Every structure is written in structure tokens, then in C-alpha cells.
Chains A and B, each alone.
Chain A
Amino acid sequence: MKNSTLLCIATLLLIIISQKIIAQEYYTISGYITNAESGESLISANVFDGKTKSGTVSNLYGFYSVTLPKDSVYLSISYIGFEAQSLALYLDKDIDLNISLSNANTFDVVEITAASSTDSNIEESTQMSTVVVPIQQIKKMPALLGEVDVLKSLQLLPGVQSGGEGQSGLYVRGGSPDQNLILLDGVPVYNVNHLFGFFSVFNADAIKDVKLTKGGFPARYGGRLSSVLEINMKEGNNQKISGAGSIGLISSKLSLEGPIIKNKASFIVTGRRTYIDLIARPFVKRSFEREGLKGNTGYYFYDLNAKVNYKISDNDRLYLSAYSGDDRFYANTETNDSDTDIEKLETNLGWGNFTSAFRWNHKWSNKLFSNLTATYSKYKFSTLVGSGYEEFEQGELVNKDFYKADYSSGINDIALKYDFDFIPKPNHYVKFGAQAIRHSFNPGIFNLKIESIYEGETEFELDTLLGQSTVKALEYNAFIEDDFKISESTKINFGVHASGFSLDNTDYFSVQPRISIRQLLANKMALKASFSTMRQYVQFLTNEGLGLPTDLWLPTTERVLPQDSWQAAAGIAKNLGSGYELSVEAYYKWMKNIISYKEGASFFSLNPWEDLVTQGDGRSYGLEVFLQKKKGKFTGWLGYTLSKSERRFEDKNLGDWYPFKYDRTHDVSVVGVYELSDKINLSATWVYGTGNAVTLANSSASFTTNGGDFFSWYDYFNERNNFRYNAYHRLDVNVDFIKNRGNFKRVWSIGVYNAYSRNNPFYLNPENENVVNSEGVEERKTVLKQYSLFPIIPSISYRFEF
């Protein structure tokens, strides 16, 4: 608490001092920066005054505000891929200035902005450990089965790793996926997996902007330990009706956007669905019929995004956005052994998210902008297994025996957030706000139904609920931060994030100071450092394997404490010229009270979840090198991470430190996109990573438990995660063939995943098989088998835009 008080006092003092130092007359230019063709607001567009060398960038809603001395002003407004605009004016009063930028007439030029969400050059920004990947870049990169995936693209960045072959989960700087706050239009998405993690729920056609923060968290972020991923949906073209779509191997997509009232209101709707189940249905049906069965089986996922916005005035805008997505596996069969007996089997597995957000942007003055957001988020997992038989006589049910077990778990959030951007002076950018979240956790409920009829009479009937009831909790936070330019060479971003959590009679409160410093050195080089503390109240219980929907979201309780972390990072950033940029960052992260299953526990254990978990410490440290080529026909990057991540739990590994399952000593990613012409686009990615750690017993020892002659074998290992999978590496390539006919653009995309068909490890399994020993005798032996999932996989997809 003392720390936060000091920080607040320091903030105020700095603002007051800086106001006194600057005694000149100042005026403010403010407004919105938008795309001239679509009317979409442009995020992080640059506004720069060449005379005073002062500038700012537009916020998440395209709003900007720059305060300059009374004088002639030479404003330059730029955004990558758009034609820059220059304005000369004499500033002697506050000015409202909305700016529309037109697409550049050259090839799409994309830029991966590292360590900078607010400035065009890497060395300018205070914030470090942040990456913005333009959605255009993501769409050009090779993808598994041609299905463009936002999260998999982020796995190619230094400090970000995938869990395993094909998985969408993000492991950021030694953290686990639950420690990532993933926000879709400001609403947390709890399960980002489609198809057991092989695809993420984010449809690239609906997305405008993706920004990942790995460390050096500004005070506005909170609630998770390892990263914040902000994904913003498009707003919809308010100039004309347009659309896009694609037909791929496993799914197709369609999006439509356009004005409701030109320049005032617009909409966007996108949808995606897989169709393996639809294509396979006739074959499945025929196959069942051959077996004498009736029924169907299949799997599908779908997602829908929709957003509308309405510009009430220059000062007020409303946004309403929603996402809905579901995965479902089903298998229902009926057996007809005779005309009178029916055996039924029913299996269903489903999970899905629903999110919605309502926003009100209000410009209070040319220096104060606010955003009020009300959100609702829901994640639900359910599974159903049923089995039984029915017996009929003369068409009437005489005997029946049927049971059905339905299990469901999930989490619902209702939240209200009010945050402000305040730009009092050119050298200050203050953000502050508060948020309250009402969580409703459903840790898991069984609904068991049994029905038994004998000779027409109901013999037994049961319909009961087992498990833990819904738990409600309140999470709240408030923050204030200032991005303060102390001098031409020194910038500091500092602030404090305070958060609390209430559940029954248990209350937690935390104050988390944050600070980032940038010092410009000679030759366009910047030295950066940051320190941040984070707290997480929402717990996630997982088996660390596939992205199974059986993972549980759970609250902090009296027994299960909130998770805490602190992270320190330091590095250099340098603009090398000719579009090249280099950043090198070292980090150290300490995590406390992270949650894990106890030894021997699993999802299938019937004990209350608090009895199954243990809490402990985690630490990770590493060095990240990020070399980018941001401009020109050839763009891309080289990322390398050298890191170590470990865990320690009192109840695991006998209390000793052990490697995290996803500890990856070396991680390399190379991404290249080459625009051969305006009709052909080539891209390739290559990744290499040290194999995941896995626990394998290498010896067995026999012990007697009560003395005497009866011994049992126990598998023994020196420490957890004592064995490493083989290294993972893979090359993916892709070619886009582009054709424009008037307003219609089509792209044939042909790609190859795992081009040299590397047998990357997916899991290891001991298996019995017959082997010939050294004496030529065949014997039964247990051997360890490594299973790989994806060999070389070509793909083709067709995209179109109009």
C-alpha cells in the first residue's frame, strides 16, 4: 500500500512540475483517424509535429489528442499501408480534426511492430515486450490445413511457445495458457480452442488488430500473470457493402459488412463452420446400416462474430459486438436386434464460448476521452453419456433400463469497466479507470438419470444432481498510469494497478506497481527496462496435455490463494535502417501460488477440487532476440529464445524444483513473406524447439508395505520431467495466387505444412511387442513408442473479397 501511495504522489508531483516548467501557451488538436475507404478507425496511427518533434498515436478507437505550443504546426499523420498526410496550420486555438487516410497504392506493406504499440520506431516507445502483428501479415503466413490461425501465428514470436504439435495454446515466458488474459473486444475468452486445440476460436476475417504484451505491463492491464492478448474485431465498413469469404479443406467462412446509415452506422457479420460431419454423414449412415445400426456420429465447430457501431455525434459512439462459438462431438446409435428390442447408446461432448460487449465512447474534451464497457462472457463445457435398452410388446413399452449421465462445468462473467485517456500536456499521456467483474463459477455438476421399467411398471426412477453448486465471486480493479516524456531521451511509463476479490467471507486485495523506462542512446538505439507485478484470481485446473475442454476454471478461495508474479526485463532496441529492427530482451519472472494437480490426482478424481490441487512457485528466465524486416517486398523476422522455466510444489517432486513441462531451452522461428508480384505472394516459416519435458520412470523397485513376503513394484524416477521429447522442427510454405477483377479479388492459397515431413513427437507410449533378441529368439517386450501426428500436409484454399 505504501508503494502505491508513493507512486500516486510521484505521479502528481511530476505532472505539476512539468506544467510549471512549461509556461508557454498551448492548444490541443484532437479527433479521430479513420480508413477513408471503410470508415474503420485506425489504431496506433501516428500524429507527429515536425517542428516541435512532438507526437502521439491514436488509441483503440482511433481517437488522438496532441497538445502543442501556440505556433505554426506541421502535422504528419501516418499509418502503415496508408498514404501519409501532411497538414500545415497556425495553432492559436483548440481544433477538432478528424483525419481519413487512404490505402497506399503499392502492394500491401505490413509491419510487425515490436515493443511499440504507440510509436512507429522501435526505439521510441517506453513499452517493451509488446508485439503487434497486423492481420494482413497473419493471413499471408502458411497455416495448418490452410486455416489461418491468429494464435498459431503468435507462437512464432520470441518468448511465445506452443504446447505441442498443432496446439493453439500460448506459453508466454514460461507461463501457462491460463495465465494469458485473452480479450476479444475487451471481453475475456476462457476457452480459445476449436477441435481440441488444433484451431483457435478467432476467425481472422473478423479481426482488425492483434496485440500481445509479454511483460512490462502498463497499469491498465491486470488479472493474469503472463500476458495480455488484445484482439479487436473490425467495426464494419461504413461506406459501402463489402464482403470476404474462403473455402478451405475443413471449413468455410463468409463475412459481410456495410453501412446501416452511411458515415453513421455500420455492421459486420462473419461466420465459419466445419463440414466434415456433413460430408461424412451419408458414409457414416451407410456404415452404420451395414452394422445393423441406426444413428449418426460426427464432429463440427462453428463461430459467429457480429458487430454494429453507431456514431451519435463527433463526441459519442456506440458499439455492440458479440461472439458465439461451439464445438460438438456426437455419437448416437440404436441397435435393432429384433423388432421388439432396441439398444441405445448416446454420447455428446460439447464446449463453447459466448461473449458480448457494449461500449460507449465519449469525448469529454479535446484532452479527455472515456470508454464505458459492459460485457458478458460465458464458457460452458458439457458431456453426456447414455446407454440402455427398451423392449416393446405389441407396440407398447414393457421393459426399459436406461441411464444418462450429464456433466457440465463453466464460468459466466458480467463486467463493467470505465476507463479514461487524459492527455494534459504533450509530455504526458495518462490512463485511468476501474472495473468490476461478477464471476459465476460452475466447478462441475453431474446430472444422473436412471429409469427402469419392468413389465410396464416403473420400478426405479432417479433424477439427481451431484457435485458442487455455482460459486459467485466479485473481482474489481482500478488503475492509473502515465506515459511521461521526461526529456528528449528519457521516457517513463509508471502506474499502479489495484485489485480485489471477494468470495463468501474471503477477501483479497493487492496493489501492483508497474514501471517501464526508456533511455535513448546514440545511433538510434534505446535502452529499456521494466518491472511489473501481477495478480491472478481466476484459477485454471488442467492436465497440461491437449487443449481438452475438461479443464476447469475455478475461483480463488480461502484455501486456494491468488496467484502472484513479478517480472523484471531489460533490453535494447535499435533501428538498423532499411526496414530492419533489432530488439534483445532479457527477463526474469517469479510466480507464486501457481496451481497444479497434486501427485496422483486427475480430472477423474471424485474428491472436491480443492483437495486435488497444490500451490507452489514457478520461475522462468531467458533471453529473446528479435530481428525484423518490416518494410519492402520481403518482410519477416527471425526470433530466438534461450530460456529456462521451472516449478516447485511442496507436494510434488518431493518439494524440489523441476523443469516445467514446456521448458524450452532453445526456440527458433523464422518467418518470411515475399511479394513476388502483385499476383503472387510467397511465404515460409521454420520453427525449431527443444523437446518438451515428460516424466518417465526408468526403473522399478519392489517394496513391502506391511512387512512380510508380499512385494509390489513401484515405478521410480529421479525427478519429474526427467526425459525430453526429441526436438521439434518444421517447415511450412505457402503460395498465394492473387487476381483482381474490378472490385472482386480472389486468392488461391496453396500450402504445405511440415514440408519435409518431420516426425515430431506428439506423445510417448509404452507398448508390448514381439522382438527378436540377440540370441535370435522372439520374445515379448515392452518398448517405448513415439507417436507423431502430422506428416507433410498439403492444403488448398480459396479466398475472395468484394
Chain B
Amino acid sequence: MKNIVYSCLVFMVLLSCEETFVKTLDVPDLDYQERLVFQSNFKSGQDTIVAYLSRTRYALDKTQPRDPVDDGNIRLYKDQLLIAEATAGMNGEYVLPNVDISLGNYNIEVFQSEFSEELKAETTIPEYVLPNSIEYREDGGIGPDFEESVSLLRVNFNDPPGENNYYKFSLLPINNPIVMDTFINQQDTFIYEREKYNIYLSSNEISAIESRGYIIIDDEAFDGQNHTTDIVFELYNNSDEDTDINDFKLDWAVLSEDQFQFEKRLSIYRDTDDFGPFAEPVSIYSNVENGIGIFAGQNQKLLDIE
């Protein structure tokens, strides 16, 4: 009996080191298949549409650069009628000219010889919702995110009932000199354009999404109602000139469902980076059959602020 006990104790001690408790094991490659990536986000009023075509990369191969595809064939249809075609791209960028983007259903077909199945996608340009009023107040109280006083833009509009509607807005400066900053990184030199004003936006909407200087809201909480959105903002003037609201227009757009989902997911994805493995994984929205990507439109106008 004692021998058994001693043997077990020795065995246990030998095994009780950290290296033995944690072992690594290679796992076979994930089920990866190269696919085409298509992207085209277009707006009402455009006379050309730009589309991008590239290949996916294996998720674990972080070193592979973007792989643009220039020998694709892209056909654009409006209400089932062919309205434009692009047969060659440059660095993956295709220009579909002479189109008049307005209300309607749009779809694309993309052919590329290396991929047997053609890419397909469809979307719509939604009806525009013109605000009833856009009211500006220089003294908009104390902002929710900053402790200083802010300006207020109150936008009132009638949300169409019985359908999902999505609104995207921002303040755009007009007729102002642009500050050009040049940044140099390790790969290349590129120019970053910065407007004269830096604008910090916030909204009173609970589910508002902030994306690259824009705010996006959906109408889940006010479907079919008259609704007022308060946009508070703070202007930082980079020059010594006075800040003037007349230097701005309200960029007010109604998004298609596809455009909303795509922008929302990308925005969440970007915000998630800091949490690493502790964050819930984010699904990237795709409405492209036989590939990955987005084909989506929005109805957009620049509106005067009075």
C-alpha cells in the first residue's frame, strides 16, 4: 500500500509542472475558399458609379496585401434594364459612367474568369424624406459628451410608416479653405484632407451609431411618427476666423437597408478592436451572392441651415 502511495506521489510531482498542463496542438486550416469581394456604395444624383473588386485572403494570413481584380466585367441594371457596363478596372476600381442615379431598383452582375459563378446583388435607392424644419441654435446647452456649451441643430421630419427607414447626417462645411496635411507612413505617402472645422457630433437618439463623422439612426422607436432629432455639435475653428453656421450645410441622407447594415457593422467592428478576444465577434454585412461585399445606395441631399 505504501509503495502505491509513494509511486503516485512521485508520478504526480513529475507531472505537476506548467509545461505539462498546457500543451499546444496544430489545427488544420480553416475551411477557406478564395472569393471575390465587391463594393459599391452609390448616392442619388450621381452620374457615375464607382465599384471595387478584389479577392479575399485567408483570415490567418495577415501579411498578404490587398489583391485587386482588374479583369472583371461589371454590368449595372436599373429596373432590370442594363444601364452601364465596365470591362476593366484599374487597381480594382471600375467606373460605370453615364448613369443617372435616382429612385428605383438596381442590380449588378459581375463576371471574372477565375470564378465560375457570377456575383449578383441588388438594392434600392429609397424615397427621400425631406425634413419639415431645420432649426439652429447657437446656444444649445451643455453637450452630453463634453462639458462645454454646444450648438444645436433640431431636425423635424415625418417618418414614413410601415417600413424600416434609416437616416444618416452630418454637417459639411462649404466654401472654406481646406487645410492640407501630409502624413508619411512606412509604406507610402498619402495626403489627408482636413476641413477647416473639426465637428464633434452627438445625437439624442438612443441607438445612434457614429461612423466616420456621420451619425446614423433607424426609425424603430418612431416608425410612422413625426420625429425630432437633436444634433448637438461643437465647432473648432482651425483659423482665427469666426465660426459661422452659414458656412455649413446639413448632409441628410436616407439609407437603403443594405447601406445601413453595412455601415453599422463596419462601425461596430472598428470600435471593437480594443477589446480583443473579450468582445463579441462582429458579423460583416454582405448582400452579394457568390462572393462577399456590398452593393447599396442612399438618397442624399445637402440642405441649407437657416
A784 to B5, CA, bound (A): 40
Checking B33, B41, B272, B281 against A717 with a beta-carbon cut-off of 8 angstroms, the contacting residue is B281
Docked-complex contact A714 and B52, CB < 8 angstroms: no
Interface centre among B4, B5, B59 (most CB of A within 10 A): B59
Minimum Cβ distance to chain B for residue A718 (Å): 9
Q: Binary interface profile of A, 764-802, with partner B (CB < 8 Å = 1, else 0)? A: 101000000000000011111111111111111000000
A705 touches B266 (CB 8 A): yes
**A784 with B190, Cβ < 8 A, contacts A543-B278, A699-B56 known:** no
Kindly report which residue of chain A lies nearest to residue B64, judged by CB atoms: A700
Query: Which of these, A602, A652, A696, A707, contacts B283 with CB under 8 Å?
Result: A652
Please encode chain B, from 209 to 237, with 1 for each CB lying within 8 Å of some chain A CB and 0 for all others. 00110000000000000000000000000
Interface residues of B in 233-252 (CB under 8 A from A): none
User: Is A710 part of the binding interface, using a Cβ–Cβ cutoff of 8 Å?
Assistant: yes
Q: Are B282 and A709 in contact, with the CB atoms below 8 A?
A: no
Q: Do B32 and A600 touch across chains, with their CB atoms under 8 A apart? A: no
Asked if B66 and A791 make an inter-chain contact with CB atoms under 8 angstroms apart, the answer reads no
- Asked if residues A599 and B281 are in contact (CB atoms below 8 Å), the reply is yes
Q: Chain A contacts of B280 at CB under 8 A?
A: 596-602, 652
Is the CB–CB distance between A600 and B293 below 8 Å? no
Q: CB distance A701 to B56 under 8 Å?
A: yes
* Residues B5 and A700 in contact, CB atoms below 8 Å apart: no
Q: Considering the complex, which residues of chain B in the window 70-125 have a beta carbon less than 8 Å from any beta carbon of chain A?
A: 91
| B22 cross-chain contacts in A, Cβ below 8 A | 787-789
Inter-chain contacts of A723 with B (CB < 8 A): 30
Interface string of A691-721 (1 = CB under 8 A from B): 0000111111111111101110111110110
* B142 at interface, CB cutoff 8 A: no
Q: Are B279 and A600 in contact (CB under 8 A)?
A: yes
Does B184 count as interface, using CB distance less than 8 angstroms?
no
Pair B60/A784 contact, Cβ less than 8 Å: yes
- The answer to whether A704 and B8 have CB atoms under 8 Å apart is no
Bin the interface of chain B by size: 35 or more
The reply to whether the CB of B199 lies closer than 8 angstroms to some CB of chain A is no
- Give the shortest distance, in Å, between A647 (CB) and chain B (any CB): 12
Any B CB within 8 A of the CB of A402: no
Residues of chain B within 8 A (CB-CB) of A781 are 60-61
The total of Cβ contacts below 8 Å across the A-B interface reads 168
Flag whether A603 is at the interface (Cβ < 8 A): yes
Give the residues in chain A near B23, CB-CB below 8 Å: 759, 787-788, 791
> How many angstroms from the CA of A442 to the CA of B272 in the assembled complex?
26
Among B9-17, B128-136, B155-163, B173-181, which stretch is in contact with chain A? B9-17
Contact status A720-B281, CB under 8 Å: yes
In the complex, which of the residues A716, A782, A794 contacts B284, with contact meaning CB atoms closer than 8 Å?
A716
**Selected contact of A602 from candidates B54, B266, B278, CB within 8 Å:** B278
Which B residues touch A737, using CB under 8 A?
1
Q: A780 to B266: give the CA distance in the assembly, Å.
A: 29
Alpha-carbon gap, A197 to B263, bound state (A): 39
Give the docked Cα–Cα distance between A156 and B60 (Å): 37
CB distance from B86 to the nearest CB of A (A): 16
A714 near B266 (CB under 8 angstroms)? yes
Q: Which residues of B contact A715 (CB under 8 A)?
A: 59, 284
Assembly CA distance A695 to B277 (angstroms): 11
- The answer to whether A785 and B275 touch (CB under 8 A), given A714-B266, A714-B269, A720-B281, is no
In-complex Cβ contact of B269 among A600, A696, A794 (8 A):
A600
Given contacts A759-B23, A784-B27, A796-B5, contact A706 B279 (CB under 8 A): no
**Cβ of B66 and Cβ of A711 under 8 Å apart?**
yes
Give chain B interface residues in 162-206, CB to chain A under 8 Å. 190, 206
Q: Is A121 an interface residue (CB 8 A)?
A: no
Kindly report which residue of chain B lies nearest to residue A766, judged by CB atoms.
Answer: B60
The answer to whether A796 touches B9 (Cβ under 8 A) is yes
Nearest CB in chain B: distance from A609 CB, A: 14
Bound CA–CA A596/B279 (angstroms): 12
A784 to B268, CA, bound (A): 25
Q: Is A138 an interface residue (CB 8 A)?
A: no
Q: Does any Cβ of B come within 8 Å of A604's Cβ?
A: yes
A703, B271: Cβ atoms closer than 8 Å: no
By a CB distance below 8 angstroms, the chain B residues around A653 are 283
Q: Contacts A705-B266, A711-B66, A737-B1 given; indicate if A604 touches B24 (C-beta within 8 A).
A: no
In the assembled complex, the Cα of A734 lies from the Cα of B300 at a distance in Å of: 72
Q: Is the CB of A697 within 8 A of B59?
A: yes
User: A778: shortest Cβ distance to chain B, in Å?
Assistant: 14
Q: Indicate whether B261 reaches chain A with its CB closer than 8 angstroms.
A: yes
Closest partner residue, chain A, to B265 (CB atom): A599
- Quick one: closest A residue to B27, CB to CB? A784
Is A748 in the interface zone, CB < 8 Å from B? yes
Contact of A698 among B5, B30, B261, B279 (CB under 8 A): B30
Least distance between A421 CB and chain B CB atoms (Å) = 46
Given known contacts A599-B281, A600-B279, A600-B282, A785 and B24 CB-to-CB distance under 8 angstroms:
yes
Cα separation A720 to B265 with both chains bound (whole Å) = 14
Contact B59 A794 (CB under 8 A): no
Q: List 25 A-B contacts (CB under 8 A).
A: A599-B265, A600-B272, A600-B280, A602-B280, A605-B275, A696-B59, A698-B30, A700-B56, A701-B54, A703-B266, A703-B294, A704-B52, A705-B263, A707-B50, A709-B190, A711-B52, A713-B57, A713-B62, A714-B284, A716-B292, A784-B26, A787-B23, A787-B25, A791-B20, A792-B15
Q: A599-B272, A704-B52, A717-B283 are in contact. List 8 more A-B contacts (CB 8 A).
A: A601-B280, A604-B274, A652-B283, A697-B281, A717-B281, A719-B283, A781-B61, A787-B24
Chain A interface residues (CB < 8 Å from chain B): 249, 543, 596-605, 611, 652-654, 695-707, 709-711, 713-717, 719-720, 723, 737, 748, 750, 759, 764, 766, 780-796
